[in-house]
Amino acid sequence: MVNKMGLPSPSKTRSFEPSAPLFTFTFTFTSSSSSAMASSSTQKPLKILEQSHVSPPPDSVPSTTIPLTFFDIIWLFSGPVQRLFFYSFPHSTSHFINYHLPTLKTSLSLTLQSFFPLSGHVRQLGNEFELFYIDGDSVSFTVAESNSDFKTLSGHQPRSFKTLLSLSPALKPIPGELIGGPLMAIQVTVFPNQGLCLGISINHVACDGTSSMNFMKSWAATCRAGAGSPVLAVPPVYDRSMVVDPANLSSIYYKASMEAAKAAEAAAAAETLTLACSKSTSGDHEENMGLVSATFTLRKDQLEKLKKMMGSKSSTFVVACAHAWTCLMRSRRQPEERTAYAAFAVDCRHRLEPPLPEGYFGNCVGAAFAEANAGEMIGEEGVKVAGEVLKKAVEELGGGVLRGAEKWLEKVIEVLPKRPLSVAGSPKFKVYETDFGWGSPEKVEVVSLEKNGSLSMAESGKEEGGVEIGLVLTKEEMEEFSLAFHA
């Protein structure tokens, strides 16, 4: 276990043999078979230069177990969160390997000493789950080279989703297992004399966006300082006794997750059979769908205009989501009598009683839900309609963030087939402050969006006070979304 300061406590840990197995609300149930199929069908060939593993310094962290809370279990079978950080780097590949890669790896090792769960795995003991780490556990680290155009891939215009996804490392599942496998993987792709892309995949069961960005900024700060010693943005805290579960939400979420995971496994098997029997030879599934990724920016003055349009005090998050939601509805051309749904995450650290510390590492996000008539949303007052229901959903959490929590996962599973608005990331994460010594990122991209049509949100990297909104849609939907967004 860990002490209340969040550090491993040797006297309270259980030892394991080396042979032992092992603000965002983007939610997708996956299975081992579907994950493997997705990774093989979407990877664009790159020149792989190196595949290695990075561990915390030897003997720096004792064998440690950290139980999953109900906040973690709700993500037990969800897909990984995948982010890409693009940096300008006008140097050769050999220059990167000789002068930058050693520091990048050393700083990662030092940072993992404090964020050691990301080197470990998740495992099941009866009906309970835990993260566990043993000395020598490591993170997959891939170095690749691409001859693609860096400026194009790090731009805002529609780009090939398949190509972007190839820059993100796969979290390879254990064959035949619903859980297990690594919690994090890293890939650095060099675009010679153009730039770098640092791709990171993190299993959502390990942590939420607040925690993962704390790790990234700590790693970046350690690297920027020369990797002499760890430089932590906010020291992580692992004390799970801070999260109280009087309603036995862990058991409720475990049961619902298992049922959904088994259904997803059956659906994946049926899809695999359908694809195998198909006579189509026109390319893989993603190419046939024509998926593209694009980023749209709302400037500060545009956000202020939207706030005035709503006629009530609303947050930047609410007005940006409201505008994007109405644009999505117009791009999909859904029947006006249908109901539009939104499901998004809200950070609960400061909303719990007592509140959790800023550095609490793990998941601590609650669910908020909103719905509105599609016809009203695509009308002239659409942004106002969407904003009002989104604002109400957030305000309702003020009456008790865990009120109705026993229905969260059930509600998510119910609305997923209806393609709800869901949001990965937050402008509060300040992703453009992730500087490894190469300067601020040229672009930060979330690529784990394609499963259910969700969007990502971050502060603008170019427009102070602005917001970036990222999406993965078909080419046709993206064209319609763009027309609505800029109308």
Would you call 246 helix, strand, or coil by DSSP? coil
Same domain, 297 and 431: yes
pLDDT in tens for each of the 487 residues of the chain? 444 334 443 333 332 222 222 233 444 444 433 333 333 334 446 999 999 999 999 999 999 999 999 999 999 888 899 999 999 999 999 999 999 999 999 999 999 999 999 999 998 887 788 999 999 999 999 999 999 999 999 999 999 999 999 999 999 877 666 677 899 999 999 999 999 999 999 999 999 999 999 999 999 999 999 999 999 999 999 999 999 998 999 999 998 888 877 776 666 555 544 444 443 333 444 443 589 999 999 999 999 999 998 877 889 999 999 999 999 999 988 788 899 999 988 999 999 999 999 999 999 999 999 999 999 999 989 999 999 999 999 888 877 889 899 999 889 888 888 889 999 999 999 999 999 999 999 999 999 987 556 899 999 999 999 999 999 999 999 999 999 999 8
Is residue 180 in a domain?
Answer: yes
Q: Is residue 45 part of a domain?
A: yes
CA gyration radius, the chain? 22
Q: Is residue 278 part of a domain?
A: no
Kindly state whether residues 313 and 227 are assigned to the same domain. no
What is d(CA 259, CA 261) in angstroms, rounded to the nearest whole number?
6
Structure tokens at 322: 């409201």
Examine the fold and report which residue of 213, 242, 271 is the final residue of a domain before the chain moves on: 242
Q: Is residue 190 part of a domain?
A: yes
| Cβ count within 10 A of residue 301 | 11
Q: Are residues 228 and 297 in the same domain?
A: no
Contact 450, 478 (CB under 8 A): no
- Using DSSP's 3-state secondary structure scheme, residue 484 falls into helix
* Residue 89 counted as domain residue: yes
Task: Single out the residue in 210, 242, 274 at which a domain terminates.
Answer: 242
- For residue 282, what are the contacts with CB-CB under 8 A and spacing of at least 6? 288
- Evaluate whether residue 331 is within a structural domain: yes
58 and 164 together in one domain = yes
CATH label of the domain that carries residue 345: 3.30.559.10
Distance CA 481, CA 164 (A): 20
**The domain boundary residue, chosen from 180, 213, 242:** 242
Domain that holds residue 15: 10-242
Same domain, 194 and 324: no
**Do 24 and 173 fall within a single domain?**
yes
**Which residue among the candidates 100, 121, 204, 323 is catalytic per the annotation?**
204
| Secondary structure letter of residue 50 according to DSSP | E
Whether residue 124 lies inside any domain: the answer is: yes
pLDDT of residue 127: 76
Q: Are residues 148 and 19 in the same domain?
A: yes
- DSSP letters spanning 444-460: EEE-TTTTTT-EEEEE-
Within 13 Å, how many C-alpha atoms sit on residue 64's CB side? 26
137 is catalytic: no
Q: Are residues 293 and 231 in the same domain?
A: no
User: In terms of domains, do 433 and 374 share one?
Assistant: yes
Determine, yes or no, domain membership for 434: yes
Number of structural domains the chain divides into: 2
Note whether 237 and 292 are same-domain residues: no
The residue with tokens 């036995």 is: 248
Tokens representing 364 are 């601590």
Q: Examine the domain organization and report whether 215 and 312 are in the same domain.
A: no
Q: What's the order of all strands across the beta sheet hosting 184-191?
A: 47-54, 139-145, 184-191, 195-202, 81-88, 443-446
Please indicate, yes or no, whether the overall pTM of this predicted structure exceeds 0.85: yes
Amino acid at 264: A
Catalytic residue among 245, 284, 347, 435: 435
Residue 204 annotated to the active site? yes
Residues 237 and 302 in one domain: no
